[in-house]
């Protein structure tokens, strides 16, 4: 039986995903089981100088999540709260790797709640094998042509190789 539209649980998993790692994918797969629809919202952060363009990051995420029919990939260039309002979504998913992540994420969740009291943040702890993994680590290894096979998908690994061949 199909749920009425107002009963569908939609969540947003925001991030820069530069690039998407196996740790991100772990959270995406697990959150896609919990929520009826998961929007992976790729931030175009103007204060950062990303390796991949917004469109490239969105494309990579679309490729590596193609087996998840309830996952949608979108981009945004605004405050997360403004994006949430534009989508009429009130649930945020954030991944936690370590205690240091929790401190930052708690601050962000509190700020988001202050900006919109209807928004709730759900924290998902990282699977232990990905607790150390970050996009920054992946880029640093890839920049020096180190092995990233266990850290990202084949598609992302190829995209990294192409980026660093051009530099």
Q: Which are the catalytic amino acids? A: 24, 48, 97, 135
105 belongs to an annotated ligand binding site: yes
Has domain 9-131 been given CATH number 3.40.50.620? yes
Is 94 labelled a binding residue? Answer: yes
Q: Which residues in the chain show pLDDT less than 70?
A: 1-6, 167
Half-sphere exposure of 98 (CA within 13 A, CB side): 7
Check whether 132 is labelled as a binding-site residue.
Answer: yes
* Cross-strand partners of 95: 124
48/50 Cα distance (integer angstroms):
6
pLDDT single digits (tens) 2-36: 555 557 899 999 999 999 999 999 999 999 999 99
Per-residue model confidence as pLDDT tens digits over 38-47: 999 999 977 7
Q: What is the pLDDT of residue 45?
A: 79
Q: What are phi and psi of 10, to 5 degrees?
A: -115, 135
Structure tokens belonging to residue 49: 């100088």
- 56, two tokens: 């490239």
């Amino acid at each position: 039986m199909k749920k009425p539209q107002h009963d569908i649980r939609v969540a947003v998993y925001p991030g820069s995903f530069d690039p998407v790692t196996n740790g991100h994918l772990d959270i995406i797969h697990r959150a896609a089981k919990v929520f009826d629809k998961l929007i992976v919202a790729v931030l175009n952060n103007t204060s950062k100088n990303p390796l991949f363009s917004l469109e490239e990051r969105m494309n990579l995420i679309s490729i590596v999540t193609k087996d998840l029919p309830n996952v949608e990939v979108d981009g945004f260039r605004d405050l997360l709260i403004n994006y949430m309002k534009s989508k009429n979504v009130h649930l945020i998913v954030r991944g936690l790797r370590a205690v240091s992540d929790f401190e930052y994420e708690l601050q962000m969740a509190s700020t988001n709640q202050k900006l919109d009291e209807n928004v709730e943040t759900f924290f998902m702890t990282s699977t232990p094998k990905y607790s150390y993994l970050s996009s920054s680590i992946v880029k640093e290894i890839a920049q020096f042509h180190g092995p990233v096979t266990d850290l990202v998908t084949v598609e992302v690994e190829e995209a990294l190789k192409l980026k660093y061949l051009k530099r």
